[in-house]
A and B are shown apart, each in its own frame.
Chain A
Amino acid sequence: MALAAGLAASVALYAIAPQLDDYAVNILVLAGINIILAVSLNLVNGHTGQFSLGHAGFMAAGAYTSSIITLSLAPTLASAPPWQAQTAFFGALLAGGLLAALCGFLVGVPSLRLRGDYLAIVTLGFGEIIRVVIQNTDALGGARGLEGIPPYTNLIWTFGIATVAIYVVASLVNSTYGRGFIAVRDDEIAAEAMGINTTKYKVAAFVIGAFFAGLAGGLYAHFISYIAPEGFNFLKSVDVVVMVILGGMGSTPGVAAAAVLLTLLNELLRDFEQYRMLVFALLLIVLMILRPQGLLGNFQRRKRKAPQP
């Protein structure tokens, strides 16, 4: 139901797109991509409690894989009917997501041994490894990046995938299976004692999170048309972490709202010019002092504590 409503909303957005100017569409697409990134990172950081700082790396893996595929198909797709190009694009996105998921699996495995800060450092390192490998691989354009990526990304793809990401994460966490993620977050030892396979849950969180980050990367690449390794550095990961913390760790609607809010804030503050980042940082500080649990973080907690009828 919710899934259908979300998809319908993306179609509706797509339908009104011709009436919006390019800039509005630009903001909407970036907001959508940020929603996917924040919601998927929230599964790892918020719901499973594994602090990951490597989301930009997964995004890069997805962006490069899908771009390489569409770029190599570009000569044949240029003359093909639009539906073929769109199908190929979807395939490329999926391939990007899957490769990112594989990377997620590779990070998930060492995460079995590590917790907290140590895990954060491993994921940070891994994200950097992906970026540095790309930077030094000539076939991927190296530091010069890939240009001329066909601009296939539109509102329907972005919000369609954002809806699917929200739906998958929200229903996964609310399912019987998904309670395991929360158990791992709340108390790993107790969860293990209760017979929960904590390893499996942690790896699953990383793989699913990375998959959607890869899709987001693919969407980003096919929207901007140009990608370079510098765009996927550590700061990009931090941007996403900020969205998750601001929205409220473990609250899917919260982080989705924070993703939209931060994207818009960035744009609305443009009139402040040089003082923009100052104002932006101040707003973040004030918000975190007033609501340390995040925008919608408290909602979730209250609900869990409410007596069941």
Chain B
Amino acid sequence: MGLASLGTISQFGELMKKHIFSLGHFRHLRWAAFAVVAYGFLFVGCKKKDSAGNPEEIVIGEFAALTGATASFGQSAHRGVRMAIDEANVGGGVLGKKLRLVTEDDQSKAGEAATVVRRMISREKPVAIIGEVASSRSLEAAPICQQNKIPMISPASTNPKVTETGDYIFRVCFIDPFQGAVLAKFMLQRGLTKAAILTDVKQDYAVGLADFFKDYFTKNGGTIVSEQSYSSGDKDFKAQLTSIRGTNPEAILVAGYYNEAGLIASQARELEIKVPLLGGDGWDSPSLVEVAGEAMEGNFFSNHFSAEDKSPAVQDFLAKYKAKYIETPDAMAALAYDATMLLLDAIKRAGTTESSALRDAIASTKGFAAVTGTITLDANRNATKSAVILQIQDGKFRFVETVAP
């Protein structure tokens, strides 16, 4: 037995030598090296950090598109949130604790929002999360917040599906169906019954807005004479506009963002289309007038608030924002500020940051006086509030009227 086993061992040794040193098996070593390196990296990258959780502070999470395609919205929203948090800290914090804001950039990229929100929840343990402006990225983050039972308040995602994700997801803006209806109602009130629609099919927001506008408009006696589409990034809209001109609409809904809306307005004037253009809150940017200049005059768009509003809440916010950032806030900044203030108000009312109590406090928000109107959250966790219609006059956004829900 002894000899036999010795033989086997030496045979095994020979075999091992052959395996390890022969060229053919060298690649296994390489694979092993890869595996070791990869797992090493993964270990470094994934090691659990002990977030001790300072009991003297309350962590508020925020994810926004600070870089990338929609960075202008993300930066504005971030300023709004920052301002609300700084203000609260100057006033001694909330529940006697200082607030700490944790901000993550999702680069306006698909997939990133899910990653950064998971990172925030795992590492920083925020009591609630503010984000995102874009509905597509809110939809990525919402299931994660819901699963971890962390209240999420979106400042400006208007897609109805966002809050349908679950009972921990809220928003402080109105939703696309409402905005579509507001624009349709506004047209019908002015006796305009023939509309053309030009939609940015690349943007979920634009497609939603156009659909809901069409729905309300046709059900209430209006007719859609032409439906055309374009994609974000297009520069030439003459083909669509020429086709629209042939159908003689009384107004044209341009469902999309400000970049293309400006170009569309100038090209429409070149083609001698004299009817007004209408848009949604995606038009709200100083660049709208910079691109189109004169051609933008007389056009309308719906928005969350107007800087011309004389109410103290709005004027107070404007003054503070200008003092801090030396520029006029847009709707995203106002909405993000409101979302944060509403959250802080809910924490005060709940008297705790425990997730289910905080959720209930947010859900029971009633008549909260915010910059963008009085906010009451309904059973579907959406804000019921009014919209404003603005008109472009002399390069400024002039307040026309408030449309109640």
A20 B48 Cβ-Cβ under 8 A: yes
A309 adjacent to chain B (CB < 8 Å): yes
**What separation, in Å, do the CA atoms of A135 and B206 have in the docked complex?**
13
In the bound complex, residues from chain B placing their C-beta under 8 Å from that of A273 are 66, 105
Name which residue of chain B comes closest to A273, CB basis.
B105
Q: Distance in Å from the Cβ of B231 to the closest Cβ of chain A?
A: 8
A151 B119 Cβ-Cβ under 8 A: no
A226 adjacent to chain B (CB < 8 Å): yes
Q: Distance in Å from the Cβ of B389 to the closest Cβ of chain A?
A: 25
> Of A46-54, A82-90, A255-263, which binds chain B?
A255-263
Q: A30-B115, A224-B140 are in contact. Are A270 and B122 (CB under 8 A)?
A: no
Contact of A226 among B31, B38, B44, B136 (CB under 8 A): B136
Q: Distance in Å from the Cβ of B295 to the closest Cβ of chain A?
A: 27
> Of B197-205, B275-283, B306-314, B342-350, which binds chain A?
B197-205
In the bound complex, residues from chain A placing their C-beta under 8 Å from that of B136 are 144-145, 226, 228, 230
> Of B20-28, B215-223, B243-251, B327-335, which binds chain A?
B20-28
A190 adjacent to chain B (CB < 8 Å): no
B48 A24 Cβ-Cβ under 8 A: yes
B119 A270 Cβ-Cβ under 8 A: yes
In the bound complex, residues from chain B placing their C-beta under 8 Å from that of A256 are 34, 38
B31 A2 Cβ-Cβ under 8 A: yes
A58 adjacent to chain B (CB < 8 Å): no
Q: A143-B207, A144-B204, A277-B67 are in contact. Are A28 and B42 (CB under 8 A)?
A: yes
B320 adjacent to chain A (CB < 8 Å): no
Contact of A135 among B41, B44, B45, B202 (CB under 8 A): B202
| Residues of A237-261 contacting chain B, CB below 8 A | 253, 256-257, 260-261
A36 adjacent to chain B (CB < 8 Å): no
B38 A260 Cβ-Cβ under 8 A: yes
Interface size on B, residues (CB 8 A): 52
A136 B201 Cβ-Cβ under 8 A: yes
B204 A299 Cβ-Cβ under 8 A: no
Grouping DSSP codes into helix (H, G, I), strand (E, B) and loop, the A interface class, with mixed when no group exceeds half, is: helix
In the bound complex, residues from chain A placing their C-beta under 8 Å from that of B41 are 260-261, 264
Q: A144-B207, A147-B161, A296-B30 are in contact. Are A224 and B111 (CB under 8 A)?
A: yes
B293 adjacent to chain A (CB < 8 Å): no
Name which residue of chain A comes closest to B202, CB basis.
A143
**What separation, in Å, do the CA atoms of A142 and B165 have in the docked complex?**
19
A23 adjacent to chain B (CB < 8 Å): yes
B177 adjacent to chain A (CB < 8 Å): no
Contact of A24 among B107, B122, B231 (CB under 8 A): B122
A290 adjacent to chain B (CB < 8 Å): no
In the bound complex, residues from chain A placing their C-beta under 8 Å from that of B37 are 257
Q: Distance in Å from the Cβ of A309 to the closest Cβ of chain B?
A: 7
14 more contacts with CB within 8 A, not counting A224-B111, A226-B140, are: A22-B144, A23-B122, A27-B46, A28-B42, A144-B135, A144-B208, A224-B110, A225-B140, A228-B136, A253-B33, A253-B34, A264-B41, A264-B42, A274-B67
